[in-house]
């Protein structure tokens, strides 16, 4: 029987609660949700209660999570990084511990941020980052890439026709947004996006 992988989920937003946590729970034979990280105390508590994550495995920041791994009080095999897009520093903190990460797009907002991640992987000598974008496995994308002559493609603009959020996430129990954060903190994060 394969080893059950201990996974931390960083960010308890809609994608984490409607997609990542349900998939990890459904594949209990392969995965265990070892920790949950979210900067919102209310969202962290509510999501943890729904998904059965004990209080000692809940963290406010990635720095707290990494400290627990470093102290060997938490054993992880990988991380799902599903935050608001301001996550290159968090991503680098995680991969510096040698942990593979599946990250929700965008990976970063600047060429410099993405270059930092690529450079770390080059130095590490192995891939540690996977972008959580299902179209990368789509046959039409594979066929399109066969017709593109360049090796230095920077961006492809595409449109994906998907159902509205209600049909897509309607069956999932998703806690509301993190309005328990101080206004200054919410405003700063919004401006940074």
Q: Per-residue pLDDT tens for 28-66?
A: 999 999 999 999 999 999 999 999 999 999 999 999 999
Q: Are strands 78-81 and 5-10 parallel, antiparallel or unpaired?
A: parallel
150 in any annotated domain: no
SS3 (DSSP) at 170: coil
Q: Per-residue pLDDT tens for 104-113?
A: 988 888 889 8
91 in any annotated domain: yes
**What is the C-alpha separation between 126 and 100, in angstroms, rounded?**
10
Q: Total structural domains in the chain?
A: 1
Considering only CA atoms, which of 70, 115, 64, 68 is closest in space to residue 90? 64
147 in any annotated domain: no
97 in any annotated domain: yes
- Residue 141's φ and ψ, nearest 5 degrees, are -70, -40
140 in any annotated domain: no
CA distances from 173 to 15, 17, 49, 180 (A): 11, 7, 11, 19
Q: For the domain that residue 46 is a member of, what is the CATH number?
A: 3.40.50.720
- pTM score, two decimals? 0.79
Domain, as residue range, for 74:
5-135+155-192
């Amino acid at each position: 029987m394969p080893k059950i992988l201990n996974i931390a989920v960083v960010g308890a937003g809609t994608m984490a609660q409607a997609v990542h946590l349900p998939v990890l729970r459904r594949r209990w034979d392969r995965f265990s949700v070892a920790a949950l990280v979210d900067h919102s105390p209310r969202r962290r508590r509510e999501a943890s209660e729904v998904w059965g994550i004990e209080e000692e495995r809940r963290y406010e920041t990635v720095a707290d999570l990494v400290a627990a791994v470093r102290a060997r009080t938490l054993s992880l095999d990988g991380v799902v990084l599903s935050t608001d897009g301001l996550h290159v520093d968090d991503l680098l903190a995680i991969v510096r511990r040698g942990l593979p990460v599946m990250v929700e797009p965008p990976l970063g907002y600047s060429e410099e941020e993405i270059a930092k991640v690529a450079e770390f992987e080059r130095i590490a000598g192995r891939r540690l980052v996977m972008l959580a974008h299902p179209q990368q496995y789509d046959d039409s994308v594979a066929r399109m890439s066969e017709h593109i002559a360049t090796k230095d493609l920077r961006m492809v603009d595409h449109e994906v026709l998907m159902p509205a959020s209600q049909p897509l996430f309607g069956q999932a129990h998703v806690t509301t947004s993190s309005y328990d954060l101080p206004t200054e903190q919410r405003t700063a994060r919004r401006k940074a996006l």
